[in-house]
């Protein structure tokens, strides 16, 4: 961190010295003020981007645990609740889930209500987010 700060300070000092040298050679006086300001802005922008990339470094990401229906068993989800959760994740409506699983609409609503309780959610999107966090579904 200390080396980076010193390097950035030296870079800025060198940049300012370069700008003064250009002034002494009358190049800046020939250019219009707008071009001068744009050049200075561009140089500082490039220096800022470079410093930001350099200082942030690359972070290694931890691999996520594999998606497993066994994760659902850990929070006591029944097989049918897991089936309903998978279909919710596929974007199906309650009626479409009922048709696909050959159960009534009220049964699907009951399973979804149980999912909300077990996943501590109030809405479908919260339940799916929690299921993804627990790696029950992708």
86-138 tens-digit pLDDT: 899 989 999 999 999 999 999 999 999 999 999 999 999 999 999 988 888 88
pLDDT for residue 20 is more than 70? yes
Q: What is the pLDDT of residue 6?
A: 85
CATH topology of domain 70-133: Arc Repressor Mutant, subunit A (1.10.10)
Distance of alpha carbon 79 from alpha carbon 56, whole angstroms: 45
For residue 19, the model assigns a pLDDT of 74
Q: How far apart are CA 97 and CA 101, in angstroms?
A: 6
Element (H, E) at 97: helix 94-101
Output the pLDDT for position 16. 85
pTM of the model: 0.52
Sort residue 78 into left (φ over 0), alpha (ψ -120 to 50) or beta.
beta
Cβ contacts of residue 87 below 8 Å, gap of 6+? 96, 97, 100, 101
What average pLDDT does range 18-41 have in this prediction? 73
More confident site: 33 or 64: 33
Q: Residue 72's pLDDT is what?
A: 78
Q: Do 45 and 13 contact (CB within 8 A), yes or no? A: no
Note whether 67 and 133 are within 8 A (CB). Answer: no
Residue 82 has pLDDT above 60, yes or no: yes
């Amino acid at each position: 961190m200390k080396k980076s700060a010193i390097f950035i300070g030296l870079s800025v000092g060198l940049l300012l010295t370069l700008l003064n040298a250009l002034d002494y050679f009358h190049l800046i006086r020939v250019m219009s003020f707008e071009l001068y300001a744009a050049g200075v802005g561009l140089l500082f922008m490039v220096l800022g981007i470079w410093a930001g990339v350099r200082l942030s470094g690359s972070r290694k990401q931890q691999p996520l645990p594999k998606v497993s229906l066994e994760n659902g068993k850990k929070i006591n989800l029944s097989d049918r609740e897991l089936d309903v959760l998978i279909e919710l994740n596929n974007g199906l409506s309650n009626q479409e889930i009922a048709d696909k699983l050959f159960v009534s609409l009220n049964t699907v609503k009951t399973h979804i209500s149980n999912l909300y309780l077990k996943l501590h959610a109030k809405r479908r999107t919260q339940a799916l987010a929690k299921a993804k966090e627990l790696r029950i579904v992708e």
